[in-house]
Amino acid sequence: MAIPQLTLSLLAGMTPEEHEVNIIEEVHNEIIDFDQEVDLVGITIMTQTAIRGYEIANEFKKRDKIVIFGGIHATVMPKEAIMFGDAVVIGEAENGLWEQVLNDIMAHSLKEFYKLDEFPELNHPVAPRRDLVKKIAGKFKIAPIETGRGCPYNCDFCTVPASFGSKQRNKPIDFIIKDIESIDEKFLFFLDDNITINKKFAKELFERMIPFKKGWVGQASINIVNDKELMKLARKSGCIGLLIGFESMTETGISKYKKTFSSFEENVEAIKILQDNGIMTMASLVFGLDNDNQQVFDNAHNFIQKAKPAFLQACALTPYPGTQVFEKMKQENRILTDDWRQFDAKKVIISPKNMTPEELQEGYTHIKDQTYSYKSIFSRAIPHIFTGVTETSLYFSLNNGARKWHKTGLTSEIYKNREEMPVDFDVTKYVKPIKSKVLGPSTSS
């Protein structure tokens, strides 16, 4: 299920009206016409889409088009991205930064790198071009929406602190409500990494959302159950389900990440409290952490059996560039491939500390076999299918989608470079840059 995004539509909202903007998203099966008449090509990349982004850039460079990169991967790997483009926007593009890029292009003075001195406050946010936003996620028509950026948890495997900071910055509630008023879709997906960190903000937002009668899903901390008013307001405002990062159900994992309650049993009970209040839990667990041994899979299985979350997002630890985990594992030569296409949190691409890659692969595959089996799907359905038709549809859509993906076998092997191919993070062995620039960049900004 490809969740619609806002990045490019936000850039379109920052673009002066005299410029015509068109958005193409391959993830939604749209075809790129490389021969179309355009003056500027903007490409946003995550790590797993970086190589494809560079291939797309090459095709446009062959046609002497100006290419600008942005996105999380370009933010943490700007010197790599610039090999394939004319400029890189590092981080967020608000506070006039995108307009500066456009002005520099028109003045033939484009710089290689553009970056704000600090994370922008979101007091005067830009409205996304909702006419350009894709609104399909699986069987659901769903509109993406953003209330803020940043996350204070600083998990060592997460790219958010480097890209958006460890302090949450919120948009004005009046702006968010006006944005919701402009949305025709009945369902919303909040892109925030944790929509309930600021409880006062969240309560006011949820209270004001109630009249719209929208259904929504988002990401939050399991600690929401400690605030019954907040939890009930979330449900009244239309909350169907929450993606919650439990990360690890081992004692060391719970202690290290401090994102959940302090014991296995308390986390199980918290999920049941959410269920009793009509909110589905989409539990995210990471396998292959440095403190993990093979016992982690039994812990996870017991957790799924006892808590019966609506869905398991099973992640293989992925050392994304820009994270502490990447730097540590790179130094220790424990990253098995530098092919960015495999960095999707669904494949084993590391040598873990307390088990072999083969043991990680076997356990990771087995936990998905167990959780995405029909037996598990139907046994976990009971707390959820009586909540409502929408909730039932979402429950089976999520689980059947995960089951189908798992059955493709695309994650059933260890991904590593061939012996003759070093893991040196030189992306040019996968895609060669083409540098036929129309206007040469000047010094960095």
Question: Is there a single domain that holds both residue 235 and residue 276?
Answer: yes
Question: Is there a single domain that holds both residue 276 and residue 212?
Answer: yes
User: 76, 95, 121 — which closes off a domain?
Assistant: 121
pLDDT digits (tens, 9 = 90+) for 257-268: 666 777 899 999
Q: Count the domains in the chain.
A: 2
* CA 368 distance to own-chain centroid: 21
Question: Is there a single domain that holds both residue 166 and residue 110?
Answer: no
Question: Is there a single domain that holds both residue 153 and residue 174?
Answer: yes
Residue stretches of the chain with pLDDT short of 50: 440-445
Question: Is there a single domain that holds both residue 82 and residue 186?
Answer: no
Question: Is there a single domain that holds both residue 151 and residue 111?
Answer: no
What is the per-residue pLDDT for 259? 67
Q: In this structure, what CATH number is given to the domain that contains residue 21?
A: 3.40.50.280
Q: In this structure, what CATH number is given to the domain that contains residue 326?
A: 3.80.30.20
Question: Is there a single domain that holds both residue 175 and residue 287?
Answer: yes
Question: Is there a single domain that holds both residue 112 and residue 168?
Answer: no
What is the per-residue pLDDT for 202? 97
Q: Is residue 364 part of a domain?
A: yes
Question: Is there a single domain that holds both residue 273 and residue 385?
Answer: yes
pLDDT digits (tens, 9 = 90+) for 160-189: 887 888 888 999 999 999 999 999 999 999
Question: Is there a single domain that holds both residue 117 and residue 141?
Answer: no
Question: Is there a single domain that holds both residue 88 and residue 162?
Answer: no
Which long-range contacts does 172-181 make (Cβ < 8 Å, 24+ apart)? Answer: 172/122, 172/123, 172/125, 173/201, 173/204, 173/205, 173/208, 175/125, 175/127, 176/145, 176/147, 176/205, 177/205, 177/208, 177/209, 179/127, 179/128, 179/145, 180/145, 180/209, 180/212, 180/214, 181/212
What is the per-residue pLDDT for 226? 94
What is the per-residue pLDDT for 357? 97
**The whole model's pTM is what?**
0.93
User: 79, 96, 121 — which closes off a domain?
Assistant: 121
Q: What is the domain extent for residue 116? A: 7-121
Instruction: Determine how β-strand 87-90 pairs with β-strand 66-70.
Output: parallel
Question: Is there a single domain that holds both residue 277 and residue 355?
Answer: yes
